[in-house]
Amino acid sequence: MDNKAVGKRVLEAVGGEKNVNSLVHCATRLRFKLKDEAVADTAKLKADPDVIQVVQSGGQYQVVIGSNVADVYKAILDDSGLGESPVDEGEKGNLLNQFIDVISGIFTPFLGAMAAAGVLKGFLSLAVVLGWLSDADGAYQILFAAADGIFTFLPILLAITAARKFKTNEFLAAGIAMALVYPAISAIAGAGTGLDFFGIPAILSPSGYTSSVIPIILAVWLQSKFEPLVKKMVPQFLQTILVPLIVLVVMVPVTFVAVGPLGTIAGDALGSLFNTVYGFSPLVAGLIMGGFWQVFVMFGMHWGFVPLMFLNLEQLGYDVLVPMLLPAVIAQGGAALAIALRTKNSKLRQLAFTSTITSFFGITEPTVYGVTLPLKKPFIVACVTGALGGAVVGMSGVKVFANGLVSLLSIPSFISTIDGVESNVMMAIIATAASFVLAFIGTFVIGFDDPKNPENTSNTQSHAAETNTRHILQSPLSGKIMPLADVKDPVFSSGAMGKGLAIEPEQGELIAPADGEITTIFPTGHAVGFTTTDGIEILMHIGMDTVELDGEGFTAHVKQGDQVKAGQSLVSFDLAKIKAAGYSIITPIVITNTNDFADVVDLDQEEIIQGEDFLTIVK
């Protein structure tokens, strides 16, 4: 996969950089906040072979890419003016959407590091239980510091990402967080001796604010409101020193005496609410979470549970929610494996095998969007078996003692690290394995509507050129012909846009290659989208990167929606001006709906005259 080409196509399809308020990514998907989602070409994205699915939920426009999403994300940032968190001026949506957007934006950037630390912590627990290491060993101490450090000083990481989300100073936010987890403060909290600020008491939990979530997020949000006010009051030549000074002097005490206690109380209430529900019926809680977890993930609602998981670990030292979710994740892999073994579609088989493996590591978006959900029945089977496994896990009292991605690698984290607190790891393994097997058997027995294999026509395709309907296009330009593979632009040379060829024009006029309609014409005049009366969709892109000329040297003679005849002039362009500006004049001509036809065949020409036959489309 050409990540740069994919990123370019995705950004173009969502309406371009000008339509993007913010962009982040998680394990498998690009999460856009768009100014206007109606501008985005969702159908085009869903048809893109490198896009698994598009989800519009929680105020986000989510493009599911797969495991290489980070590379596509980086390619988009490299080729655009987008930063990690551009100013968000878009519609806010309802309170639930805002909450989900804030939480996902704050936690997503360090999700990989957090998951890795959780897995490492779990394996260290397993190593101690099996006698491979002692908690007094130097190796254990160093590795445990690596695993536990992220969670101990979690408020600092949250402060940085929250500052990016709320558009405020990251270093001041980190400074507030460092004050919260300052060793002397944590020692006072642990000793229970109390703390006040000029007589105003600060409420501290026994562990202080290490590993806390809500207090620092609230504090940084308040900082984002306070800091601009300070800047307005302080003369510009003094802002470098006085603004940070005032923010720290005000915000740190306010956080300790007001924001922190408020966040702690809110967190305690949220944790108590969940534990009340769980205490009423762990079986029902597991049944619901196991059955609906993938639905929550699909709509981005799973982020709402993230603070709860952290709160449980902070307050209790363990969490009962994560273990309930493991059967739901692995069940999707079981359904995918059944699909891989039963389908006759080679492309689906390959994707299903790959998705089975990724689900073991907690990455289910490719599995759900690319395999089980489109086939419907396997997705339902996996949800049902995930619910049964979740119910067993909940009823068995399985707990997790370190946070991380829900995957098979999280099982060692189910081993209790707290004296007197039991965790039934064996039942977690049994329930998860049972969910996988039942999802596999259920999918294999119930079956699904197997999509046709596009490769079935490959052996007769050469024959098709002789027997199938043909549509011949006329050349829109005169000049030298070259294969698309030689075009110095990966979007065209990779064939990602479709089959076709390129022409190095000898004169500056582009004509219609057939009768049809102008479906797109760029304001700059450098590119024309055209659909023939036979349904052939053609993109003609005059030169490389000529969009940068902003229309100089281009004169369009048609507009979007115009009906034109073969040979009619579409665009005039100044070859000399384009060359003088340093741009290539090589013009790709691509059949963008290539997959709708049996083949696209060129006529093996080296030179072409405008109006001469140059491409044959075989239906």
Rounded Cα gap, residues 60 and 47, in angstroms: 20
Rounded Cα gap, residues 314 and 416, in angstroms: 15
List phi, psi (to 5°) of 614. -145, -15
Structure letter (DSSP) for residue 89: -
Distances (CA, A) of 388 to 171, 361, 400: 47, 21, 19
Rounded Cα gap, residues 375 and 443, in angstroms: 10
Rounded Cα gap, residues 27 and 364, in angstroms: 10
User: What are the tokens at 36?
Assistant: 């206007």
3-state helix, strand, coil split of the chain in percent (to 5) is 55, 15, 30
User: What are the tokens at 77?
Assistant: 């940032």
User: What are the tokens at 574?
Assistant: 């100044």
Amino acid sitting at position 482: M
Give the H or E element holding residue 255.
none
Rounded Cα gap, residues 125 and 123, in angstroms: 5
Rounded Cα gap, residues 431 and 428, in angstroms: 5
- Which of the residues are catalytic? 26, 541
Q: In angstroms, how far is CA 235 from the centroid of its own chain?
A: 42
Question: Is the CB of residue 155 less than 8 Å from the CB of residue 181?
Answer: yes
Q: Which of 562, 552, 548, 566 lies closest to 510, judged by CA? A: 566
